Structure 1
């Protein structure tokens, strides 16, 4: 089976777009030697409960994690970096290696005449079996397929024989904007159409999704919204802010202002590329405020909350929080958070809701920053600690579903079954 064509280069200069997406990274180009995948099963070692002692684990299916080889070593931060959440976050953003992968872009027109861009690994339509599992990647705010954390996860999954596609939201990674609307933390319609599109194209494949930061919030909202009708077979949420009201409160404190200004700058840049589409909008829109926003909150006040029909920014944040969606999730879901995340505060994690849902599992690491996780065998310049865990979880689900049924959304995390028009271009 052919692997994705790639090379890896170190990051030695600031990344091209927002600070939030670059504050993440994902997996490495090499397959995990501890995990063997065959057509009908994974051979997982039986590990001791003590292997989880360095982590906070919430969920009725905690015992599943004791079988994961990726969780056998205790979580141990990398020397000189893990002592401070901002140091770890920024180091991962600027110095983690960058996999190079040839991608094929497909522009998908949505029902409201908007456009999103789907980036597939070039050549996989010929190289992979038609029924290979499919993984949809959802980047963070203003992020896309050219961000390091997305590329790492893409390469790891592809090297395990998975078909991978990056969902670039409207305006992100040069995704076309064809209507005066971007996207928001509450908007799941584009994701719904992307999942339907992928499912129609690959009807014999199991489909999974991984979301980071704001992408994780959108993903969890989608899972709760679709509930038992969700076509996804499993999902992973990484550094999800969960409670956007709490996240907004912390976003304006101390050093967090650096992230806030960087994200506002990235949002302004996307807006200015498409400013003509927004000319003449009246009503509650405050286009000058959005165009000159110095904070994410200002951009949301001037444009986002009005576009999606919210009375105020606080109303938007409250009603867009994915914490309220957890109780309705019926798809196997793994959430991984860092206790010291400056952007997705630990106090916003819906621990009780996750504990009460047998489909959900939560891992909280003691350090990690915002999608830094500079720990594990590939630290400090390689993939973050989370990537092998994510891949092992997804392969566990796909193994449980290897009997040929299309959806594993009714398989609990311990494997006990329950009720059960586009344009393509090539980019580098």
Structure 2
């Protein structure tokens, strides 16, 4: 197991995974350069739906690599990690794009489906399209949380042929064992804060989906859902071809198939991530030689805030994109 690639130390005034997670999301500095601006393209999907893809407007050479970032649950190009990665890309002359999973760009998608943690067919279609549109650029891809699990599932499914699409992939704070992550987020403080936050976004979107497609699921049962297990059982699992939540969490998890990956892959997980129990993380014996594991003791869930300036405030989150981005660039 490799720790040396990202020697992260949390600021002394942010002890614990929850503080590091929440500060990074709510109060951290995301960019050193200008705030990123985006050009949005709408891509029609093979099943007559659409996704919205945001491409950063900063300059990059025509042959510079393209970094594609897949966001996490209910994330977008406005998420703090997406802004920080855009800043890294601008500073290093890379083209940068954030494809939104269906329904995450601010406009509800048309089809009777949304997105899920094992959506590797969607990842495949998106990466193929990027490769077609940017034939002169080397492609590298990173995924955060849900997006990272889906990206690793894709790399495992593709095996040797993944290298025809990308040079390297990275998963950041991904619940590679979805059952362990799903149960962790449904308990105690996590349930009070994070579960409530996710459901506050996911339930209204699901109800709009029901207006689009009457009879898709039981409205009253969904309104009664109090955790992600219950939500996934009623909505995510049946809409995406899974029997129920246990079937979804089992078949969509990347951890059991990480050994099938044949392209350089990085899995970064903080040991104090409140969503991802350290006991559930993969070991070197489980992943094979193509996968690098970075498992620092601190960082929280997509946190990794760093002290900045003489006083150590307000803190920034560029260190993690720098470390992950430079690791990816080593494989071009």
How do 1:163-242 residues align onto structure 2 when only pairs under 5 Å count?
163-230=95-162, 231-242=165-176
Match of 1:276 in 2: 211
CA 1:376–1:393: 2 relative to 1, 3 Å? farther
**Whole-Å separation in 2 of the counterparts to 1:273 and 1:335:** 35
Task: Tell me how far apart the structure 2 counterparts of residues 98 and 350 of structure 1 sit (CA, whole Å).
Answer: 29
For 2:267, the equivalent position in structure 1 comes to 335
**Which string of whole-angstrom CA distances, capped at 9 and with x for unpartnered residues, describes residues 133-180 of structure 1?**
011101110100111111111111122111100011001021440111
Q: What stretches of structure 1 of length at least 5 have no aligned partner?
A: 1-56, 399-428
What's the secondary structure of 1:106's corresponding residue? strand
TM-score normalised by structure 1 residue count:
0.71
CA displacement at 1:352 relative to structure 2 = 3.9
CA positional deviation for 1:75: 3.3
Write the distance in 1 (CA, Å) between the matches of 2:75 and 2:94.
Answer: 22
Point out where structure 2 has 5 or more consecutive residues left out of the alignment.
none
Deviation string for 1:303-346 (max 9, x for gaps)? 11111222221111111111022011111011111111110111
Counterpart in the other structure of 1:301: 233
1:371 is matched with: 302
When residues 219 and 175 of structure 1 are mapped into structure 2, their CA distance, relative to the original with a 3 A threshold, is: farther
- Matched-pair contact (CA < 8 Å) for 1:88–1:372: yes
Q: What's the offset of the Cα at 1:292?
A: 5.0
CA offset at residue 98 of structure 1?
A: 4.5
Corresponding residue for residue 9 of structure 2: 76
Q: Aligned match of 1:111 in 46, 52, 55?
A: 46
Kept in 2: contact 1:117–1:176 (CA 8 A):
no
| Structure 1: 4+ residue segments shifted above 3 A | 272-275, 375-380
SS of equivalent residue, structure 1 residue 222: helix
Contact 2:308 2:315 in 1 (8 A): no
Do the aligned partners of 2:30 and 2:318 also contact (CA within 8 Å) in 1? Answer: no
> Alpha-carbon deviation of 1:95?
0.3
Contact 1:168 1:175 in 2 (8 A): no
After TM superposition, the score normalised by the length of structure 2 is 0.91
| SS of structure 1 residue aligned to 2:40 | strand
In structure 2, what is the Cα distance between the partners aligned to 1:278 and 1:107? 22
Is 1:383 aligned to 2:317, yes or no? yes
Following the alignment from structure 2 to structure 1, what is the Cα–Cα distance between the partners of residues 306 and 283?
24
**How far, CA to CA, are the matches of 2:258 and 2:308 in structure 1?**
32
Partner of 2:177: 243
* 1:36 equivalent in structure 2: none
Deviation at 1:384, TM superposition (A): 4.7
Moved more, 328-337 or 376-385: 376-385
| Alignment match, 1:150 | 82
Aligned residue pairs total: 323
Greater C-alpha Rg = 1
